[in-house]
Amino acid sequence: MDLLLNVCILKSNLFKHRGYIVPMSYIELGYVPKDSDLLVMFKVEPPTGRDLRYSADKIAEESSIGTWTELKTLLPEIWNTLRARVYEIDERNGIVKIAYPLELFEIENMPAILASVAGNVFGMKSVENLRILDMKFPEDLISAYPGPQYGVEGLRDITGVYDRPFLGTIIKPKIGLPSEMHAKVAYEAWVGGLDIVKDDENLASQDFNPFEERLALTLEMRDRAQEETGEKKIYLVNITSPYNEMIRRAELVEEMGNEFVMIDVVIAGFSALQSFRREGFKLAIHAHRAMHAAITRNPKHGINMRTLAKIYRILGVDNLHIGTAVGKMEGSKGEVKDICEEIQMKKVPQREDRFEQIWGHVKPVVAVASGGLHPGLVPAVVDILGNNIVIQAGGGVHGHPDGTRKGAIAMRQALEAKMQGIPLKEYAKEHEELKKALEKFSH
């Protein structure tokens, strides 16, 4: 009955123009999405005086083949093949689901895909607020992308760490240290027991810390720390810069024997990331999400982080910052867990607020918890996110009363306690570094 009603509505919204049947509505509630369709779930707030159907129709129109007026050039074959279809409207929750035929897109062009489904629609007067809650990528699209080169298993193989989360730090202060001091701080963190040291998001190649010098000195300290500890150490050097320079820096990183680069993926852009992944480097990509909150934070407008995380997984990052739920950065426990599931599961089950997503050949991504962490928060982060994560503390390491090395030791002790099922306060009775960290940070 619903299907018949919608067919009647669709027919009533057509008119003849110079021999063509020109459509007036993109709402087709009886439509069953094809396996090849790209699906988008929108949270929609219509403008004053308009209803959800009106806004839904305008979103589908603008994000596929239509515009604000009837078109003499909109041929029936275009309408039949390429139009988006609003196939579900949830009036109570303001949710609209739209199916896009894959023929609408250049499949191996993520920037162009996003220009359609997440482009002009956010600026239209026909919506008061608009937020993308999820996108479902069909197998025909996913199979065209390489995904992560290494992912979770690859990082474990590189480091030889298989039975616990990874521990990392960010050099602090985030900017200002000369190259030699930067390298020495990294060394202290590594010999204290951390696996990973990374640059912060705004450390590039400033005069006080030039890229080439920093890379050479820090890798020298990495090699020394590996020799002294017998453990593999990782340096995440930030190569974010104009694309040609980013490639030059990546070539230098690879020539000098480092395995990882860091890219500020939101700032660098989808095009740069997609292109970089296809350059043929053997480098793993650590994806920092700086500036994401400009897109993700407003709960009424923009794109949520889970959707961005799916895109970055497709494009091929190996590590991705996802938040902590317990540190200084915004993001609830549920939101952060959802992102972690989306980048690590092979099949994400359907829920009221998300699509089922099957990931096929795409490898799981290492989730990076970073932002206001310290040893006292290690158990909570592991409980929330599991083992396939990097627990990354900047101030929580370098702010230790006895300095960076002791701060790193305290982080390692906190993780040892968690993995052994021992409460931190009990473990701290015989571990002075952890005791001092808890006294400073856990209040």
pLDDT of 404-414, one tens digit each?
999 999 999 99
State the sign of the Cα–Cα–Cα–Cα dihedral 432, 436, 441, 443: positive
CATH of the domain at 418: 3.20.20.110
Task: Give the domain extent around 55.
Answer: 2-142
Asked if residue 391 and residue 326 are part of one domain, the reply reads: yes
53, 201: one domain: no
Confidence class of residue 73 from pLDDT cuts 50, 70 and 90?
A: confident
Question: 442 pLDDT exceeds 60?
Answer: yes
Query: Which residue among 92, 107, 142 closes a domain?
Result: 142
Same domain for 314 and 207?
Answer: yes
In this prediction, residue 69 has a pLDDT band, given cuts at 50, 70 and 90, of low
288 classed as catalytic = yes
Tell me how far apart the alpha carbons of residues 404 and 395 are, in angstroms, rounded to a whole number.
Answer: 9
385 near 336, Cβ under 8 Å?
Answer: yes
Domain end, chosen from 98, 117, 142, is at 142
Q: How many structural domains compose the chain?
A: 2
Q: What is the pLDDT of residue 12?
A: 38
Clarify whether residues 136 and 156 are in a common domain: no
Higher model confidence: residue 13 or residue 134? 134
- For residues 382 and 391, the answer to whether their CB atoms sit within 8 Å is yes
Retrieve residue 96's tokens: 């609209």
Q: Tell me, yes or no, whether 194 and 118 share the same domain.
A: no
Same domain as 186, residue 291: yes
Residue from 13, 91, 24, 80 nearest 51 by CA: 91
Same domain, residue pair 125 and 167:
no
Specify the CATH number for the domain of residue 132: 3.30.70.150
Q: Please name the residue ranges forming H helices in 28-109.
A: 52-62, 76-82
Looking at residues 15-22, what average pLDDT do you find? 46
355, pLDDT greater than 70: yes
Q: What is the pLDDT of residues 152-175, one digit of tens each?
A: 999 999 999 999 999 999 999 999
Inform me whether the pLDDT recorded for 101 exceeds 90: yes
pLDDT band of 146, cuts 50, 70, 90: very high
**What mean pLDDT is predicted for residues 309-331?**
86
Backbone angles phi, psi at 376, to 5 degrees: -65, -20
Query: So what's the pLDDT on residue 224?
Result: 98
Mean pLDDT of 121-130: 96
Q: Determine contact, residues 283/261, Cβ cutoff 8 Å.
A: yes
Which of the four pLDDT bands, split at 50, 70 and 90, describes residue 328?
Answer: low
Answer yes or no: are the C-beta atoms of 220 and 183 closer than 8 Å: yes
pTM: predicted TM-score of the whole model, two decimal places: 0.93
Average pLDDT, the chain: 92
Active-site pick, 136, 172, 198, 310: 172
Residue at 89: amino acid letter: I
pLDDT tops 90 at residue 47? yes
Q: What is the pLDDT, as a whole number, of residue 36?
A: 97
* The one catalytic residue among 288, 310, 418, 436: 288
